[in-house]
């Protein structure tokens, strides 16, 4: 592991990181902006969007460690349908015992209730349009870690790792309100995917992984020192 000159390093995520990573998820959880004021349970977003990757996919789960603790994460899976099956049976089923279901009436939901509903009714689907892009990923960085090129280097690292393990394509889900996130992914070669069989309330971006070479600068950042 090595630190770069700004004091950040990327390293494999561990379960001990989860409280810090859940905090990152909350602070980026409003379409990339701080979602703290929107939630009555600060852990629920992370329990849905971060925890299962760290626990079920540790080979593809990384913490961006900053000067004051976790400053970001990089998460993914090679095989979304297989991940979804384990996410349901090994993560969501036990989690549901501790989280009440607020019901289907969205008008009655308050604060974190939409995440509670997601935990009970996650709507995990893998439509045919995504078949060429079976891998998926998440990246979120705290504001202080942005704009240094970490996001690009981290995504290039994950894409090379996924390609080396045989994934042919990667998809990402981005909030339609997160124009900055979409611009970032476009810079990395992702394109918008539209299809009537995709959920219409989220934006899908996709990229083939063929021909991606390992990025030495990021390999250094992760493995050496
Ligand atoms: C999106 C995010 C991961 C980008 O990471 P980053 O380290 O700040 O990005 P980089 O510095 O590596 O930038 C790479 C390129 O993307 C561009 N870019 C990054 N964020 C951008 C933004 N918000 N708007 C427009 N372009 C952006 C950069 O200008 C750069 O372009 P260049 O190569 O032409 O200079 C980070 O800003 C973040 O975590 N944001 C909040 C959460 C989020 O939106 N997550 C992703 C969607 S779910």
Q: What is the span of the domain harbouring residue 162?
A: 9-223
Percentage of the residues of the chain whose pLDDT score is greater than 90: 87
**Nearest CA owner, ligand 1 atom 24:** 180
d(CA 37, CA 202): 22
Tell me if 2 is assigned to some domain.
no
d(CA 172, CA 199): 13
pLDDT value for 219:
56
At 12, list the tokens: 């494999």
pLDDT band at 213 (very low <50, low <70, confident <90, very high): confident
Tell me if 71 is assigned to some domain.
yes
Q: Is the CB of 150 under 6 A from ligand 1?
A: yes
Q: Is the CB of 147 under 6 A from ligand 1?
A: yes
Q: Which of 36, 5, 12 is nearest to 23 (CA)?
A: 36
Alpha helices, DSSP H, located in 101-189: 113-120, 150-164, 179-187
Q: Which of 3, 156, 8, 146 is nearest to 70 (CA)?
A: 8
pLDDT value for 217:
60
Residue of 28, 154, 176, 184 best suited for mutating to test ligand 1, as the one with most atoms within 8 Å of CB: 184
Mean per-residue pLDDT over the chain, rounded: 92
Tell me if 30 is assigned to some domain.
yes
Tell me if 1 is assigned to some domain.
no
pLDDT value for 2:
43
Tell me if 160 is assigned to some domain.
yes
Q: Is the CB of 204 under 6 A from ligand 1?
A: no
Q: Is the CB of 219 under 6 A from ligand 1?
A: no
Number of domains in the chain: 1
- Which residue reads 């950040």 in tokens? 8
Q: CA angle, 163 as apex, 46 and 145 as ends, to 5°?
A: 40
| Alpha carbon of 5 to ligand 1 centroid (Å) | 20
pTM attached to this predicted model? 0.94
Tell me if 95 is assigned to some domain.
yes
Over residues 49-63, the mean pLDDT reads 97
Q: Is the CB of 51 under 6 A from ligand 1?
A: no
Tell me if 4 is assigned to some domain.
no
Query: Which CATH number is 89's domain given?
Result: 3.40.630.30
Atom from ligand 1 closest to the CA of residue 142: 39
pLDDT band at 37 (very low <50, low <70, confident <90, very high): very high
d(CA 189, CA 50): 24
Tell me if 134 is assigned to some domain.
yes
């Amino acid at each position: 592991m090595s630190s770069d000159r700004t004091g950040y390093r990327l390293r494999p995520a561990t379960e001990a990181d989860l409280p810090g990573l859940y905090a990152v998820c909350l602070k980026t959880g409003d379409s990339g902006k701080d979602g703290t004021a929107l939630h009555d349970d600060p852990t629920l977003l992370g329990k849905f969007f971060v925890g299962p990757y760290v626990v079920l996919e540790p080979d593809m789960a990384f913490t961006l460690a900053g000067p004051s603790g976790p400053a970001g994460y990089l998460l993914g899976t090679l095989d979304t349908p297989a991940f979804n099956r384990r996410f349901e049976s090994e993560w969501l089923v036990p989690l549901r015992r501790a989280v009440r279901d607020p019901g289907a009436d969205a008008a009655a939901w308050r604060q974190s209730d939409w995440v509670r509903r997601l935990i009970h009714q996650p709507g995990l689907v893998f439509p045919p349009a995504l078949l060429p892009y079976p891998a998926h990923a998440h990246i979120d960085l705290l504001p202080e870690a942005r704009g240094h090129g970490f996001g690009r280097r981290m995504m290039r690292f994950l894409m090379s790792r996924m390609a080396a393990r045989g994934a042919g394509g990667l998809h990402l889900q981005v909030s339609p309100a997160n124009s900055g996130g979409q611009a970032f992914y476009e810079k990395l070669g992702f394109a918008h995917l539209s299809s009537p069989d995709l959920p219409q309330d989220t934006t899908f971006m996709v990229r083939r992984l063929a021909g991606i070479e390992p990025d030495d600068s990021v390999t250094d950042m992760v493995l050496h020192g």
